[in-house]
Structure 1
Amino acid sequence: MSSGQIKQRFRLRFRSRSLVVTLFLLLQLAPLFALTLGAPPLLVLGLSVGILLCTMPLVLGGMQSIDRTLDLLVQDTQRIRQMDFSGELPPASLFAEIETLNRNHIDMKAALQSQTQALQASQLKLASLVENGLLLSAERDRDALLRHILMQGKRTCNAQAATLYLKTEHGTLRFALRSMDDELPTIEIPLHDPHSGAPNERHVSTYAALHNETVVIDDVYTESRFDLSGTRRFDSDSGFHTVSMLTVPLAPRGGEVIGVLQFMNALDVETDEVIAFSPPVVAFIGALASQAAVALENHNLIDSQRALIDGMIEILAGAIDAKSPYTGAHCERVPELAMMLAEAASEVNEGPLAGFRFTTADEWREFRIGAWLHDCGKITTPEHVVDKATKLETIYNRIHEVRMRFEVLLRDAQIERLQQLQDGRNPAQADAHYHATAQALQDEFAFIAGCNIGGELMNPEHVGTLHNAGERTWLRHFDDRLGLSTAELARVAELPVEPLPALERLLADKPQHIFPRPETKELAPKYRFQVSVPEHLYNYGELYNLSISKGTLTAEERFKINEHIIQTIVMLENLPLPSNLKRVPEYAGTHHETLLGTGYPRKLDKSQLSIPARIMAIADIFEALTASDRPYKQAKTLSESIAILATLRDKGHIDADLFALFLRSELPMRYAQRHLHPDQIDFIDIERFVPASQPVEQLAAVSATH
C-alpha cells in the first residue's frame, strides 16, 4: 500500500470517527433531554439502560480492535527484529492515534525492508567479489580466466551484454571476448594516431585505456563526447539496442592499463527495464576490475615466465647441439619424436596403453620440458670426447705426432745409409738395408694408422703387432718440458728428468698420460646410481688408446660420455622445480634404461619405468640411428633403424606396445619426411615387424620373456 493510499484512508477514517463521537454524545444526553421535556422517570431510566446496552458493545468492540491492532503491531515488530518482512499489514483502526501508530509502523517497515534489501545486495556483491578473487587466483587457463572476468562483471552489474578488450604489444586494443555469441571483430583500435602519434580519445574504450578512467554513459544516442558510430552500426546490423554503457579500464595497482571492460544496458532487477549504471554498481565493477587486472597481470607474468623458461631450455638444448657438429639437432629432434609418440599413445583406448593419458596442459608441458632437457648434462661433456673420431684423438688427432716419429726414424735410416757409404760399406748392402727399413716403417705406420681409425674389431694378434711396433726407439734431443702449461708441468713434476739425448719409444703409455679422477658429489649414494666408475678420469696412453678393441673410445671416455645422463639427473634433481614440473628429472633421466634393468645409470626395470620414460627411450634410439652427423657411424636407413629397434624389442630392452604403436601410427615415415636425407627413406614392411595377426598384448608378452 502506498503512502498516498494510507493518507487517504486516514482522512476517511477521521471523518467517520467524528460522526461516531457526535452520535455517541447525543445518545448519552438523550435521557437528560427526556427529563427536561418532562418524560416519566421510568421511561428515562429505560431509555438510559437501552442506550447503555447499545453503546457498550461499541466500546468493547473498539477496545478489542485497539488490542488486536496493537498485538499485530507487536508481532510484526518482533518479526522485523528477525529481519522477517513477510507479515501482513495491520488492519485500519477507527482511532486516529492507533491509525497514526499503524501508519508510522508501515513506513518504518518499508524503510527497513528497503535498506535491508540494499544491504543484502551489497553483501552478496561483496561475497561475490571475495569469491571472484579466489576463483581468479586459482584459474590457470587463460581463456577460462578471461571468460570468468567478463561474465562475472556482467552478472555484478546485471548488464545485458559485455565486451573485453586487451591491450596489444603494438599499442592497440583488440577484441578479446564478448558475452554474446556473435563473431569477434578482427580490427584493432589504435591508442594513438599512427601518423601524428596523438592519443586517440575519440572512442570511449581508448579514452578509458589512455586515461585509466571509468566512463559512464546513460544514453548512447545522446552522447556527444565520444564517437559511438561503431556501437550504433552494430545495433543497426544486429537488432540490439544499446542505451546505457559502462567502460572500465583493467589496470593492476600502480601499473599500466592492460585491457578494458565494457558493459551495455544495465537492467532493473525487478522490471528488466534498461536503466543507467548506478554509482554503487560502478564502484563494485571498479573493485572487480581491479581484481581482474591483478589476476590477468599475474597470469601474464606466469605466461611470460613460462615462455622465458621454455626459451632458456630450448637455448640450452640448442647450445648443447651447437657444441658439436656431430650431434646436429639431436636435442631438438628427440622432443619432437617423443611428443609425436606420446600423442599417439594418448589416443589408445584399449590394451596396455589405454590407461596412459596426459590430461592437462601442465602434464604435456612437463613431458616436453623433460624431453628438451634429456641431454642437458652434455653441457659438461668435453667436445673432444663427444667428437672423438679416431683412437688417438684428444683435442687433435695425435696420429700426426706418431707420423712425425716415423719421419724421424726414416731420416735416421737415411743418415745411417749415408754413414755406411762414407764408412766404405758395400753400397748395395747399404741400399738394401735402407730400403728394407723404409718399407718396414711404411708398413708399420700404415698398420698403426689403420688401428687408429677403429673401424674394425681389434683381435689379440693385432694388439701384439701394435706393441711390437711400439718397441722401436728414437732419440729426443730437445727438452720435453719446455713450453708446457702449469697443469702439464704439475703432471710431470714428480717424474725424473731424463738427460738428453733421451731414448724414446715409438709408442708409449707414460705416467703423464693418466689424469686422476677427482672427488665428486655426483656419485653420492643418495642418487642411487649403479655404474662402474673407471679408476682414472682419462688415460691418453698411446698404446692404451690404439689397443681399443671396438670403436674409438676408451673405458674412461665412454664413461665420460655416459656420465652426461648422471649430470642430467643431478642437475635436474637439485633444481627447485615447482609441483607441475616434478617429473622432469624422471622424463629426462631414464632414456638409457632398459626394461630388463640392464641400462644406466640406475638399472631400472620395467616396473620402475613409466610410459613416458619408455617413450623417451624409443625416441632417443631412433633419432640416434637415423642421424647422419655422427662421427663414429653412418646414418641408417628407415628399414635398418626399425630392424634394430625390433631387435631391441625382442631382447626386452624397449616397450613392445609402444614400438608397435610407433610403426602403426606411421611416425617413422612422418619424421623421415621432415628430417632425413632422401636416400635414407626406404620402404618399411610393418607386417614384418608387427604382424597384423599378432595382437599388441601378445607382443608385450613376447618382449617380456626374452
Structure 2
Amino acid sequence: MQVLNQQQIAQRLDQLTELSVALGASHDIDLLLERILLVAKSITNADGGTVYRPSPDRRSLRFHLSVNDTLGLHVGGSGAADAAIAPVPLAGEHGEPNLASVAAYAANMGQSVNIADVYQAAGFNFSGMRAFDQQFGYRSQSFLTVPMRDHAGELLGVLQLINAKDPASGAITTFSPTDQRFIEALAAQAAVALANHQLVRQLEELLEALVNLINIGIDEKSPYTGRHCQHVPVLTMLLAEAASATGEGPLADFHMNDADRKELRLASLLHDCGKITTPVHVVDKATKLQTIHDRIEEVDTRFEVLLRDAEIRALRQQLAGGDAEAIGERLHQEQARLRDEREFLRRANIGGEGMAEEDMQRVHRIAARRWTDPSGQDAPFLSADEVVNLTVRYGTLTDEERKIINNHIVMTVRMLESLPWPKHLRRVPEFAGGHHERMDGKGYPKGLTGAEMSIPARAMAIADIFEALTANDRPYKTPKPLSEALRILGRFSQNGHIDPDLFDIFVRRKVYLDFARANLDPSQIDAVDEAAIPGYVP
C-alpha cells in the first residue's frame, strides 16, 4: 500500500482543482467523463479504469468508457467504437437489488468497494473479469469502485479503477484509504458536473418542447401556417450556414459557433409565435368575402332572387298581353347580364396579384344595383363592407385585416422580450422580431434599417419571404416556381427590401436549390437562369 507524502498530496489536490475548473467549462459529456477517468487513474496510479452510466430506464449499468495502459485499450467515449459489452443489471429477475456485481453493488448501496485482490475476494461474481483476463492474458487484482450520485441521491454513474501500481517499482498494489477518499471526492465533483450538464440539457429540451408546443397551437389553429413554421427554420439555417462558410466579400467576417446556431434556430422556430393571438378568420382568409364562411354564397342567393324577379316580371308582362317574343328576349338578356355579373364577382372574390381599376369600378356599379332583402326592404345589392372586401387590390385581406396580420410580429416581440432569456439566448427576440424589417427602413414593427439589423435577422427575412412565395399550402395563392420566386426576391434585393449580399449567397451557394429539392413539389423546381435574376451577377 502506497503511503503519500505532503508533496504527493499537494499534487493530487492540484489535479482535483484543475479538474474542477475543467468540469465547469466542459460541454461535451464524453470528453468530460474521459477527463474524470484519466484524472482518477493519474491520482491513484491505476493501470486502467471503466465508467458505467445508468440506462435510460435505470434498470442496468451500461458500459461507457474503458482504458487500460498495459493492454493499450481505449474503448468507448471519444475513443474507438463502443465495445459490445453486455449491460450490468441493477436488479434480479424478481426485482431484488443485484449485489453480486461490484459495479451494481456500489450503485445500489451507494457505497465504495475497495478490493485488494479480486481472486481472493468473496461475495462477488467475478466470472466476467476472469474471462477478460483469460482472453487478453491480463491479471486483474485490485479494484476500487465508487458510485457517482447527485445531491438528490440520483445515480449518475459508476467509476471503477483497476490495479493500483507502485510508482517506484510498478508492482500491482492495493488502493489505499487515501486513494479511496480522493476518488470519492473526485466522484462527488464529477457528479455535480454531470448533474449540471443533465440539467442544462433538460432545460434546453424543455425550452424546445415549449417552442414546439406553441407551434403546435399555431398549426392546429391554422393548418395553412404549419409548414411555414417548419420550413422557415430550415431555410434560415441553410442560408446562415452558407453565409458563415463564406470567406470573402461583405460577409467574410460573419461566423457562427454552436451556441450561435442554437440561438438562431430557436429564434427561427419562434419567429411567428405571435400568430397564436391572430384571429383564425384572418389567418385563414382564403377569399375576399370569407369570414366564418365565404359570403359569396350570400351574394349568389341575391342573384338567384334577381333572376327569379326578372322571370316573374316577364311572366306578368306576358299575362298583361305584351309581346311574348320581345319580352322573352329582354328576359334572356337581363338574366345573361346577371349571370355574367355573378361570375365576375366570383372571380373577384378570389385574391390575386393585382385587381384592375376597371374591375374595381365594376364592383361599385354592381353594388349600386337594388334588390328587396329578406325583410322586404329595398337595399343596395352589396353592403359597404362587401364592397371594401371585393375591391381589395392584392390578395384577400383588407387594410384593417392586414394590420391585424402585421400585429403578429408586434406580439412576437412582446412575448419574447417578456421572457428572462439567459445570456447565450439573449438575441432570440431580436432575431425573431426582425424578419419583417427592411433594409431601407420601411419594414415593421420598428422600421429598422439594414445597418440596425443583425445578419441572422436579415437571413430570416429572406427565408420568410422565399418560403411564403413557394408554399403550396396557402388557401389564397398558388405556389411560385423557383424561377419566379427568385425573380421576385431579386427585385426585392434591388429596391431595399432584403439584404443584397445575403441574396447573392442565397443564389451563388444554391441555398434555394438545396431547400427546394428537400421541401418543394417537383413541379415547382423549374430551370433557373441565374444570369436573368434581377440584382444578381453570376
Query: Would the aligned equivalents of 1:173 and 1:188 in 2 still touch at CA under 8 Å?
Result: no
Unmatched segments (≥5 aa) in structure 2: 77-82
Aligned CA distance change for structure 1 residues 661 and 608 (closer, same or farther; 3 Å): same
Question: Structure 1 vs Structure 2: percent identity of aligned residues?
Answer: 45
**1:150 Cα offset (Å):** 2.2
Helix, strand or coil at the partner of 2:415: helix
Partner in structure 2 of residue 110 of structure 1: none
Q: Deviations over 1:496-546 (max 9, x none)?
A: xxxxx433221122xxxxxxxxxxxxxxxxxxxxxxxxxxxxxxx111111
State which of 38, 44, 49 in structure 2 corresponds to 1:157.
44
Query: Would the aligned equivalents of 2:146 and 2:160 in 1 still touch at CA under 8 Å?
Result: yes
> 1: distance between equivalents of 2:321 and 2:496?
74
> 1: distance between equivalents of 2:450 and 2:135?
64
Query: Would the aligned equivalents of 1:318 and 1:332 in 2 still touch at CA under 8 Å?
Result: no
Query: Would the aligned equivalents of 1:189 and 1:206 in 2 still touch at CA under 8 Å?
Result: no
State which of 50, 74, 94 in structure 2 corresponds to 1:182.
74
> 2: distance between equivalents of 1:182 and 1:134?
24
Letter in structure 1 aligned against 2:264: F
Letter in structure 1 aligned against 2:39: Q
> 2: distance between equivalents of 1:254 and 1:462?
73
Aligned CA distance change for structure 1 residues 576 and 253 (closer, same or farther; 3 Å): closer
Aligned CA RMSD, in angstroms, stands at 3.0
**1:605 Cα offset (Å):** 1.9
Counterparts of 1:504-515 in structure 2, within 5 Å, are 504-509=379-384
> 1: distance between equivalents of 2:314 and 2:531?
70
Partner in structure 1 of residue 448 of structure 2: 604
**1:468 Cα offset (Å):** 2.3
Q: Deviations over 1:334-392 (max 9, x none)?
A: 11122222222222233322211122x32211111011111111212222222222211
**1:397 Cα offset (Å):** 0.8
State which of 277, 301, 307 in structure 2 corresponds to 1:410.
307
Counterparts of 1:325-404 in structure 2, within 5 Å, are 325-359=223-257, 361-404=258-301
Q: Deviations over 1:462-500 (max 9, x none)?
A: 33332222222233454xxxxxxxxxxxxxxxxxxxxxx
Letter in structure 2 aligned against 1:177: L
Aligned CA distance change for structure 1 residues 667 and 194 (closer, same or farther; 3 Å): farther
Helix, strand or coil at the partner of 2:151: coil
**1:261 Cα offset (Å):** 0.5
> 2: distance between equivalents of 1:291 and 1:183?
24
> 1: distance between equivalents of 2:532 and 2:389?
41
Q: Is 2:492 the counterpart of 1:648?
A: yes
> 2: distance between equivalents of 1:596 and 1:627?
26
Partner in structure 1 of residue 79 of structure 2: none
Letter in structure 2 aligned against 1:400: E
Partner in structure 2 of residue 630 of structure 1: 474
TM-score when normalising by structure 2? 0.88
Larger deviation: 268-277 or 565-574?
268-277
Helix, strand or coil at the partner of 2:87: strand
Aligned CA distance change for structure 1 residues 666 and 122 (closer, same or farther; 3 Å): same
Partner in structure 2 of residue 99 of structure 1: none
**1:430 Cα offset (Å):** 5.0
Partner in structure 2 of residue 681 of structure 1: 525
Partner in structure 1 of residue 388 of structure 2: 544
> 2: distance between equivalents of 1:217 and 1:276?
8
State which of 339, 343, 351 in structure 2 corresponds to 1:442.
339
Q: Deviations over 1:85-135 (max 9, x none)?
A: xxxxxxxxxxxxxxxxxxxxxxxxxxxxx99x7566556656655664455
Helix, strand or coil at the partner of 2:150: coil
Higher relative contact order by CA 8 Å / sep ≥ 6: 1 or 2?
2
Query: Would the aligned equivalents of 2:60 and 2:91 in 1 still touch at CA under 8 Å?
Result: no
Q: Is 2:35 the counterpart of 1:148?
A: yes
Query: Would the aligned equivalents of 2:61 and 2:90 in 1 still touch at CA under 8 Å?
Result: no
> 1: distance between equivalents of 2:519 and 2:64?
38
Q: Is 2:198 the counterpart of 1:300?
A: yes
Counterparts of 1:607-622 in structure 2, within 5 Å, are 607-622=451-466
Query: Would the aligned equivalents of 2:491 and 2:535 in 1 still touch at CA under 8 Å?
Result: no
**1:424 Cα offset (Å):** 5.4
Q: Is 2:107 the counterpart of 1:212?
A: no
State which of 121, 128, 150 in structure 2 corresponds to 1:252.
150
Query: Would the aligned equivalents of 1:595 and 1:604 in 2 still touch at CA under 8 Å?
Result: yes
State which of 318, 339, 349 in structure 2 corresponds to 1:452.
349
Query: Would the aligned equivalents of 1:660 and 1:690 in 2 still touch at CA under 8 Å?
Result: no
Helix, strand or coil at the partner of 2:111: coil
Partner in structure 2 of residue 566 of structure 1: 410
**1:309 Cα offset (Å):** 1.2
**1:400 Cα offset (Å):** 0.8
Query: Would the aligned equivalents of 2:490 and 2:535 in 1 still touch at CA under 8 Å?
Result: no
**1:456 Cα offset (Å):** 6.2
State which of 580, 583, 590 in structure 1 corresponds to 2:427.
583
Partner in structure 2 of residue 103 of structure 1: none
**1:260 Cα offset (Å):** 0.3
State which of 42, 53, 60 in structure 2 corresponds to 1:172.
60
**1:564 Cα offset (Å):** 1.7
Helix, strand or coil at the partner of 1:258: strand
> 1: distance between equivalents of 2:185 and 2:408?
53
Q: Is 2:122 the counterpart of 1:230?
A: no
Letter in structure 2 aligned against 1:307: E
> 2: distance between equivalents of 1:152 and 1:456?
68
Query: Would the aligned equivalents of 2:148 and 2:187 in 1 still touch at CA under 8 Å?
Result: yes
TM-score when normalising by structure 1? 0.68
Query: Would the aligned equivalents of 2:311 and 2:331 in 1 still touch at CA under 8 Å?
Result: yes
Greater C-alpha radius of gyration? 1
Aligned CA distance change for structure 1 residues 550 and 340 (closer, same or farther; 3 Å): closer
Counterparts of 1:39-188 in structure 2, within 5 Å, are 118=5, 125=12, 129=16, 132-133=19-20, 135-170=22-57, 171-180=59-68, 181-184=73-76, 185-188=83-86
**1:307 Cα offset (Å):** 1.1
Aligned CA distance change for structure 1 residues 582 and 546 (closer, same or farther; 3 Å): same
> 2: distance between equivalents of 1:305 and 1:372?
17
Q: Report how many aligned residue pairs link the two structures.
A: 526
> 2: distance between equivalents of 1:259 and 1:556?
60
Aligned CA distance change for structure 1 residues 408 and 685 (closer, same or farther; 3 Å): closer
Query: Would the aligned equivalents of 2:500 and 2:535 in 1 still touch at CA under 8 Å?
Result: no
